[in-house]
Amino acid sequence: MELVFALVIGALTASGVYLLLRARTFPVIVGLTLISYGVNLFLFSSGRLATGAQPIIGTTDTYTDPLPQALVLTAIVIGFAMTAFVVVLSLRSLADHEDDHVDGHQDAKAPQPEQNEEGTGK
Amino acid sequence: MNQWLTAPILIPLLGGILQVFMGYAPISLRRTLAIATTVLLLVSTVVLVVLASDDSYRLYAFGNWQPPFGIVLVLDRLAALMLILTAILALLCHLFAIGGADEGNRQFHGLFLFQLMGLNIAFLTGDLFNLFVAFEVLLIASYGLLMHGGGRARTVPGLHYVVLNLAGSAVFLISVGMIYSVTGTLNMADLAIKIPKVSGENLEIVRAGGMMLLVVFALKAALLPLCFWLPKAYAKATAPVAALFAVMTKVGIYAILRVYLLVFGDDAGALANLGMDWLFPLALLTLAMGVIGALGADNLKTLVAWQVIISVGTLLAPIALGSVAGISAALFYLLNTTWTVGGLFLVAELVARQRGSARDRIVTAPRMRNRTFLSVLFLLGAVAAAGLPPLSGFFAKLLILQSPMSGPEMAWLWSVILIGSFFTVIAYSRAGSIVFWRTVDGHIEEPGPLGGNVSVAAGALVALSIVVVALAGPISDYTDATAIQLQNPSGYIEILKTPMVGEDN
């Protein structure tokens, strides 16, 4: 179980980091989400992996640490809010620049679209 | 248990909730309530400073759980100093904001107050995971504030800022998980007991966790390899927001001071002074980088944003050396630099408003209105920031220069700070002389009068550097006592023995 768990965390984080380094906002956001999944699983495992154990002493023979579960829950809530915000922000950036490049445009030397402040109607 | 400790968190929380529900109330009412909240916050932080100045630690345990099992708030001299520093800065920024910058977004005051709440939780908390939550609270409010006012120019730096901080949060969680998996606790006082006892292969896990934590704090503090997000984001933000953000990098510095002196301090056994040998050269490089950036800045706000990075380097260099005198000097400089940089952001905005289409770019332009007043403010701010006598920056840098023992560190510190200060003076005098003196004939459309609120706020923030000089004696006594308290973490660890059961009932 530990090996599978570790491989899953590794795969999630590796693909997340790869996507985070892309130049378009959508892969970046997906990458951030994958990283946060990997991080949440990692945080969960910091209380040691156990099967058939409950986080309440006395209900089963062994018990599992409840604190990492509480930490993961907090991290999930915060991560969800942050992801929602960054999605809206990247849509705003797309609308402002008509390009979903993370720098707002492909290349500083590339020809810029006509900058017509009034005409775009946004 | 001391209930006062919750005041700096509850006041902006309740004030902020009020603002959220009053989005459609008349703006004068919202402004009055928002300023009243900030004034109340300042009053509560003054109470906390008075409480903290008897050198004892005060504790508030949520739900009356016996530490280390619950989340605790801990008040000591350092926390109280950071609280009052933030509250004074926030009040003046808020005063500036109600001069017109808060229009255009109904939730500005709510976000501003939530930002203060996040900052105050970060300063008061005694729990590593709660510190993460505080960072997220202040960050999500800062994302909203950074976007305030809208405009194409803000989306790209904002996006970079958000993505970078989300990646930083992931690293923070990983390091918290690593430390928890070995020690089984996240209470800072308990960590200070458990970490010296870690041995064997667990040692390397904690070491890796501690170093990753330093990376996160360095990202917040904008230390060199992680500082390039700052100038664009700060230079593009609305002026009062940028001025408030002057304290955001100081949160990273506060976290480094708190965690690395308490948890990884001299008593931490194999992990004593973890990462501090990296911090010193990086701090000096940050200082040099900030000076280079300031020399190359093409507008006043970017210049001030690079000054933020200069001050981060100047602060972390003596902190990394870790002597009592160095930490005391760094705290003195912290007070001075945060207020001065905040004031300079506000002055840059006022200058930009008076110069028509030239804005705050460092180019020749027709003569601005109110030139005398603004140029005096800029001069005061620049003198205080660059560290020339007679203002507070000079005394702060003098204290920092006096702090190290003689040796190679002293030589490096002296040469980098003195050469850096020299080039900072050049950067400011170049900017000031072009913006204020070299005028060309031309016509600026009437920029509207300089409002009372904004002038008072910008003037007061800059003039605080004179106040710091006048009160230099009491302030340096306070920072000396703070540094001594920080160097003796045994007092902080004592909070674990505070009995909770049976108290107050």
At B216-239, the pLDDT tens digits run: 999 999 888 888 889 888 888 888
**Mean pLDDT for chain B?**
88
When scoring B127, B132, B145, B155 by the number of chain A Cβ atoms within 10 A, the one with the most, hence best to mutate, is B155
Q: Which domain holds residue B375?
A: 275-470
Nearest to A81 among B140, B152, B155 (CB): B140
Assess contact for B137 and B121: CB atoms under 8 A: yes
Residue A121 has pLDDT above 50, yes or no: no
Nearest to B159 among A47, A65, A102 (CB): A102
Number of domains chain A is built from: 1
User: And the tokens for B275?
Assistant: 């990462």
| Element holding B289 (H helix, E strand) | helix B276-296
Residue B391 has pLDDT above 70, yes or no: yes
- The 3-class secondary structure across B11-45, one letter per residue, is HHHHHHHHHHHCCCCCHHHHHHHHHHHHHHHHHHH
Q: Is residue B304 assigned to a domain?
A: yes
- Residues 6+ positions from B471 with CB-CB distance below 8 Å: none
Q: How far is B141 from chain A (nearest CA, A)?
A: 11
Integer Cα distance of B131 and B256 in angstroms: 12
Q: Is residue B233 assigned to a domain?
A: no
CB atoms under 10 Å from CB of B46, counted, come to 15
- pLDDT category of residue B421 using cuts at 50, 70 and 90: very high
Integer Cα distance of B501 and B29 in angstroms: 44
Residue A23 has pLDDT above 60, yes or no: yes
Please state the rounded mean pLDDT for residues B439-463.
81
Return the closest-CA partner of residue B93 out of B131, B41, B143, B128.
Answer: B41
> In this predicted structure, what is the pLDDT of residue B502?
57
Cα–Cα distances in angstroms (integers) from residue A52 to residues A47, A61, A71, A79, in the given order: 14, 9, 21, 28
Residue B329 has pLDDT above 80, yes or no: yes
CB contact under 8 A, B174 and A46: no
Beta strands B365-366 and B72-75 are: unpaired
Q: Is residue B445 assigned to a domain?
A: yes
ipTM value, please give it: 0.86
CB contact under 8 A, A74 and B129: yes
Is residue A45 exposed (0-12), middle (13-18) or buried (19+ Cβ within 10 Å)?
A: middle
Q: Is residue A82 assigned to a domain?
A: yes
Q: Which of A51-55, B66-70, B269-273, B288-292 has the highest mean pLDDT?
A: B288-292
Assess contact for B243 and B89: CB atoms under 8 A: yes
DSSP alpha helix (H) spans, B53-149: 77-96, 108-124, 128-147
CB contact under 8 A, B181 and A47: yes
Q: Specify the amino acid at residue B103.
A: E
CB atoms under 10 Å from CB of B372, counted, come to 8
Q: Is residue B335 assigned to a domain?
A: yes
Integer Cα distance of B39 and B42 in angstroms: 5
Q: Is residue B294 assigned to a domain?
A: yes
Q: Which domain holds residue A35?
A: 2-48+64-97
Number of domains chain B is built from: 1
Assess contact for B329 and B314: CB atoms under 8 A: no
Please state the rounded mean pLDDT for residues B228-256.
90
Q: How far is B180 from chain A (nearest CA, A)?
A: 7
Integer Cα distance of B73 and B50 in angstroms: 17
Q: How far is A69 from chain B (nearest CA, A)?
A: 11
Q: Is residue A54 assigned to a domain?
A: no
Is residue A3 exposed (0-12), middle (13-18) or buried (19+ Cβ within 10 Å)?
A: exposed
| Residue located via tokens 């004592």 | B494
Integer Cα distance of B51 and B80 in angstroms: 9
- pLDDT category of residue A108 using cuts at 50, 70 and 90: low
- Collect all residues from B whose CB is shorter than 8 A from any CB in A: 129, 133, 136, 140, 143, 147, 152, 155-156, 158-160, 162-163, 166-167, 169-170, 173-174, 176-178, 180-181, 184, 186
Q: Is residue A106 assigned to a domain?
A: no
Please state the rounded mean pLDDT for residues B15-44.
91
Q: Is residue A34 assigned to a domain?
A: yes
**Backbone phi and psi for residue B208, each to the nearest 5 degrees, phi listed first:** -65, -45
Residue A31 contacts B where some CB pair is shorter than 8 Å: no
End-to-end CA distance of chain B: 12
Is residue A110 exposed (0-12), middle (13-18) or buried (19+ Cβ within 10 Å)?
A: exposed
Q: What is the largest CA-CA distance in chain A?
A: 71
> In this predicted structure, what is the pLDDT of residue A116?
46
> In this predicted structure, what is the pLDDT of residue B47?
93
At B182-206, the pLDDT tens digits run: 998 899 999 998 888 888 888 999 9
Q: Is residue A42 assigned to a domain?
A: yes
**Mean pLDDT for chain A?**
83
Please state the rounded mean pLDDT for residues B331-360.
88
- Inter-axis angle of helices B77-96 and B472-487, nearest 10: 130
Q: Is residue B220 assigned to a domain?
A: no
Q: Is residue A74 assigned to a domain?
A: yes
CB contact under 8 A, A89 and B173: no
Integer Cα distance of B48 and B7 in angstroms: 9
> In this predicted structure, what is the pLDDT of residue B503?
52
At B93-102, the pLDDT tens digits run: 999 988 878 8
Integer Cα distance of A20 and A30 in angstroms: 8
**Backbone phi and psi for residue B44, each to the nearest 5 degrees, phi listed first:** -65, -35
> In this predicted structure, what is the pLDDT of residue B156?
86
DSSP string, B126-154: -BHHHHHHHHHHHHHHHHHHHHTT--HHH
**Chain A positions in Cβ-Cβ contact with residue B186 (cut-off 8 Å):** 67
